[in-house]
Amino acid sequence: MLNFTMPKKLRAVATMARELGESLFRPISRKYDRAEHSYPVELDMLRAMIAGMDDGGQGVGAGGIARKPGEAARDGAQDEEAPAVRNGRNMASVLNVEALSWGDLGLLLTIPGQGLGNAALAAVATPEQRARFKGKWAAMAITEPEAGSDSAAIRTTARRDGDSWVLNGEKIFVTCGERADLIVVWATLDRDRGRAAIKSFVVEQGTPGFRVARLEHKLGIRASDTATLVFEDCRIPRENILGSEEIDVRKGFGGVMQTFDNTRPVVAAMALGVSRAALELARELLAREGVRADYTRGRWDASALEGELYRLEAELEASRLLTLKAAWMADNGRPNSREASMAKAKAGRTATEIALRCVELCGSLGYSERRLLEKWARDAKILDIFEGTQQIQLLIIARSLLHKSSRELR
């Protein structure tokens, strides 16, 4: 059962994340929004600190590992409040990401060592692979020119050749594809065998046959690089496959998809941070004009502006509760695919609505670059797109509720 009090062991780390967002991210937010593709050197100081936090079991950004009920946390820690219920790396990631996204979403996405590929390593890598790639920054390469929301339509191929895999294909919209040390690449072993043949592989930067073709110019999250990657007879060691080499049609590609069960609540947490930042600033600017929330009155007794603030706050709170539930389920070994999609769908849509509405409510101050509201409105839209679009999340939820397969409900 959910406990709405933040666990003691997570409180200090979440507070530190909020302080980092305020003291480090906010002051340079506009600088790197304007200097697209420039690496934020100020973030280098975070790498060693975050590595120490991860070693202590308090992950920051990439999602954690789901555990079976009764299984001990990797750090051996248990909550003082309820030994049978755990709040681990997934909950820590959600709380920390929300706080850092409140500071700046683009900067969060380019923190060294916290790529989405790291979540894949956490979810499906072997202990030997985790040890070998420990401390590396891993990006995730899934989307292709002909395979966007439908991950099963991937055309990038992986072919066994002795003790190596040979990759061929193109990946687009890869977050931190140029800056990361490793790329986790989704590829198919056999196009004719569908989803079951899709596996993930680790490719190190500098590997012959792998190159960054271009960097995208974007509406928002400009501090984060978004790359197109090309693989031309790219040869990697056989042991760089994540999970089994066997194609098992009964299991499909559930192993690689498990990554999303951990990362979608994290993306939802990003949306919470942006939403909260926009709402807080909007309330502050409106209060200067005499519009202040009075929670002793009902919504229908308030002014139109006050009533709109109440509505947006309610949407944010609903999103937050869904996100916490999805993270909590992952930490306690409960299947959370549906809840992860619910959290991501609700929070992503809410972030876009809140950010745009706050721009409108604040008028010229919301639209100008004198404040960060217009930037947050630009940043927010990606949260409704990457890690699976709004439409894909609703499709996943519908399949789960109706007990339909992907073949039965498209």
**What is the Cα–Cα distance from 244 to 254, expressed in whole angstroms?**
12
**What is the Cα–Cα distance from 299 to 296, expressed in whole angstroms?**
10
Q: Assess contact for 366 and 352: CB atoms under 8 A.
A: no
**What is the Cα–Cα distance from 271 to 268, expressed in whole angstroms?**
5
Tell me the two tokens of residue 258.
């498990």
**Residues with Cβ within 8 Å of residue 162, at least 6 apart in sequence:** 238
**How far is the first Cα of the chain from the last one, in angstroms, to the nearest whole number?**
33
Tell me the two tokens of residue 214.
């271009």
- Which residue in 83, 81, 89, 96 sits closest to 5, CA to CA? 81
* Options 232, 280, 387, 408, the catalytic residue: 387
**What is the Cα–Cα distance from 388 to 386, expressed in whole angstroms?**
5
**What is the Cα–Cα distance from 224 to 86, expressed in whole angstroms?**
33
387 is catalytic: yes
Residue 64 CA to its chain's centroid (Å): 11
Residue 236 to residues 128, 160, 306, Cα–Cα distance (Å): 17, 10, 58
Q: What angle do CA 189, 190, 191 make, to 5 degrees?
A: 125
Q: Tokens 């790219």, residue? A: 234
Q: Assess contact for 283 and 361: CB atoms under 8 A.
A: no
**Exposure pattern of 253-292 as b/e (b: 16+ CB <10 Å)?**
bebbbbbbbbbbbbbbbbbbbbbbbbbebbbebbeeeebe
**What is the Cα–Cα distance from 222 to 287, expressed in whole angstroms?**
31
Where in the sequence numbering do the catalytic residues fall?
387
